[in-house]
Amino acid sequence: MITNSKTKSFLLAVFALIFLAVFIGVSRFILVKEISTNEIYIPIQSQFAIRIQGKELFKTSIHDLFLEQPDAEIFSLIRKLTQKGSGNQKVKDSGINFLSDVLIFSYPNNDGEYYGFVLQLNDASAFQKNILDKAAKNTAGVCDAETGILLFFNPKKKNTILSKESIRKEAVQILKNPRKESFFTKMNFTNNAFIYVEKRKETKNYSAFGQGNLSVAIQDSTLQLSGKFSAVHPISKSNWNLKPQGFHISSSLLNAEIQDTLQYLFTKQGFNLPKTSKISLNYSGIQMGNGGIVPKMDLLLEFDSTISKAEFLEPKHWRKLGFSISRNTDNEYDLNNGSNDFLLTFLDDKTIFIGLSKENLIQKSNDRIFYMTGDARYLTRIDGSGLVAMGINLYPPFKTGKDFLESLKKTDLEITSKGNNTVVKGEISFKEGRSVTVETLRLLLRMNDF
């Protein structure tokens, strides 16, 4: 099963290529005739696929960059990228026609899972030379005059490596055996939509959702998400929630990887806890001072079985974290690190609250199984006047992320359980005068400098 970080990197690479192709080879791509999508090359056994409309993204990007938000920094970064390397070495042509659709798919294999791209080409030799011939381990592909298939194999066992020839043969079979019908059963693109996701059936990798679809659109300065899936594994509702404040995120969609990671972190600090079934967090940044680095937050943790109170309250565990612990009542305790006080409360035998105040606690269930809302700028907020705080704020990777979050106006994404369905709805809006495409391009180009 592919890790979340790998999946994000995989998709990030697609967006980076699309954006850079738009701005590095505009004139060339405009002259290339638009060719219909290559959906027929999504393998028959695929259970999940994404369609990215390159033409729609192209049109929106050009309009925003040249008409709505001309930006000298963007053009400077593009020029710098094209000259990056030794001397005046140019960025090499990928051979991909980004005015056509980019297709991403996945399907299982006995030893792992394949993730792949179907790409429309305008220069097959360039694609072979600059993409396929330089593919990393567990990656290979094949192409003909018009279509390129790029496959990445993600093994079940960490150290498993599949030969490039084996992966290439798999890609050859995909190119030789096109499907007779479209993979996508319901195309609900609007004029502003540029991504469509469809899932055919439940797999181990996507156990939170059954069959369904999701679309992503750009409307003015807002990224919009809308989708609906069958509920394969209904999630039990929690009796406790936090009223959103600062930047809020809550989730009952915790897969095995997330649960194992949380258990590892708890165990490393000496806490022997059951698996986490829900997290709810209000976050307002961190405070740096004599008490060290202290997050300003309210945290709700729910577990899938009864918590051992005596084990959790063991003072030596908290001393490792720099806190002393004292009892107020049977279910309420104070945590202190010398300059800050947190309240620790056992809300029931499976639920713990740790935070600055209980005023945002709500004893009421709702249909949300994931919710993210509020001002994302709090994620990079550091209060403190010391040299360390100043250094972090000036550190280029941190500043790049902070500047991007500063361009956001609001984040609002929710996934709800409604009967036998799981419904996805959300918006990420940018401030007036900022566009989705330009700010995302700025982020990608700045990240390229690290």
- Write the DSSP symbol of residue 349: T
Residue 439 tokens read as 């700010």
**What is the C-alpha separation between 28 and 130, in angstroms, rounded?**
18
Residue 11 has pLDDT above 60, yes or no: no
Q: What is the pLDDT of residues 147-194, one digit of tens each?
A: 999 999 998 887 788 899 999 999 999 999 998 888 887 655 555 678
Contact predicate 280/352, CB 8 Å: no
Q: What is the pLDDT of residues 360-389, one digit of tens each?
A: 999 887 888 899 999 999 999 988 777 878
Residue 116 tokens read as 């792949």
Beta bridge mates, 326: 334
Q: Which residues of 332-364 are buried (b: 16+ CB within 10 A; e: fewer)?
A: ebebebeebebbbbbbeebbbbebbeeebbeee
**What is the C-alpha separation between 104 and 15, in angstroms, rounded?**
12
Spatial CB neighbours of 43, under 8 Å, sequence gap ≥ 6: 105, 107, 116, 174, 177, 179
* Predicted local confidence at residue 168, as pLDDT: 95
* Predicted local confidence at residue 371, as pLDDT: 95
Spatial CB neighbours of 110, under 8 Å, sequence gap ≥ 6: none
Confidence of residue 354 (pLDDT cuts 50, 70, 90): very high
Count CB neighbours of 159 within 10 A.
5
Q: How far is CA 136 from the centre of its chain?
A: 22
* Predicted local confidence at residue 33, as pLDDT: 39
Q: Measure Cα distances from 391 to 288, 394, 395, 445 in Å.
A: 12, 5, 6, 22
* Predicted local confidence at residue 118, as pLDDT: 95
Backbone angles phi, psi at 321, to 5 degrees: -95, 0
* Predicted local confidence at residue 211, as pLDDT: 84
E strand map for 341-420: 341-348, 351-355, 361-362, 368-374, 382-383, 408-418
Pure H helices in 64-106: 72-82
Q: Are strands 341-348 and 351-355 parallel, antiparallel or unpaired?
A: antiparallel
What is the overall mean pLDDT for the chain?
A: 82
**What is the C-alpha separation between 246 and 360, in angstroms, rounded?**
11
Share of the chain above pLDDT 90, in %: 39
CA-closest candidate to residue 365, choices 239, 219, 269: 239
Q: What is the pLDDT of residues 397-411, one digit of tens each?
A: 899 999 999 999 999
C-alpha dihedral, 119 to 123 to 126 to 129, nearest 10°: 70
Q: What is the pLDDT of residues 82-99, one digit of tens each?
A: 666 544 445 568 899 878
Contact predicate 408/39, CB 8 Å: no
* Predicted local confidence at residue 171, as pLDDT: 95
CA-closest candidate to residue 355, choices 319, 393, 301, 308: 301
Q: What is the pLDDT of residues 108-145, one digit of tens each?
A: 888 889 999 999 999 999 999 999 999 988 899 999 99
Spatial CB neighbours of 169, under 8 Å, sequence gap ≥ 6: none
Contact predicate 263/275, CB 8 Å: yes
Residue 379 tokens read as 């994620």
- Write the DSSP symbol of residue 386: S
* Predicted local confidence at residue 36, as pLDDT: 47
Residue 147: what residue type?
T
CA-closest candidate to residue 96, choices 142, 61, 131: 131
Residue ranges covered by each domain of the chain: 4-222+433-447, 241-374
Contact predicate 424/228, CB 8 Å: yes
Confidence of residue 50 (pLDDT cuts 50, 70, 90): very high
Backbone angles phi, psi at 74, to 5 degrees: -60, -50
